[in-house]
Amino acid sequence: MQDHEYHEIAEATIWAIEAAFENTGIDIDTECDGDMLEITFPNRTVMVINKQPPLQQIWVATKFNGHHFEYRDGQWIDNRTGAELWQLLAESGSKQAEQDLTLDAQS
């Protein structure tokens, strides 16, 4: 993938993640600059999602673990566990929010 393609896809993904968390109906604070997104849950735990341009990855740091996602066949896939980004965000977000979250990737 060309660098400009990576930047477009990664930035669009981060903005979509921010919108999805804002649309959960839960009092979650988000702060995004396009390259990095901080999500603060009501219990004050934080999830950080950021671009890693040299590796063409998106990194996700949750309260529980860190994940490195690579773009493959139209999806961001964790290069260690094989988890898909949106699935991991919903699962980890639900744990950190201490309630079930539904995230809409199309937000």
Q: Which token pair is 14?
A: 């981060």
Residue 48: CB atoms within 10 Å? 14
pLDDT in tens, 54-82: 999 999 999 999 999 999 999 999 999 99
What is the pLDDT, as a whole number, of residue 67?
97
Q: What percent of the chain has pLDDT over 90?
A: 89
The mean pLDDT value of the chain amounts to: 94
Q: What end-to-end distance do the CA atoms of the chain give, in Å?
A: 25
Question: Tokens at residue 32, please?
Answer: 């995004």
Q: Which domains does the chain have, with CATH numbers?
A: 3-95 (3.30.920.10)
Say if residues 47 and 92 touch (Cβ distance below 8 Å).
yes
pLDDT at 107: 53
Scanning 23-76, the segments in alpha helix (DSSP H) are none
Handedness of CA 31, 32, 33, 37 (dihedral sign): positive
pLDDT-derived band of residue 34, with 50, 70 and 90 as boundaries?
Answer: confident
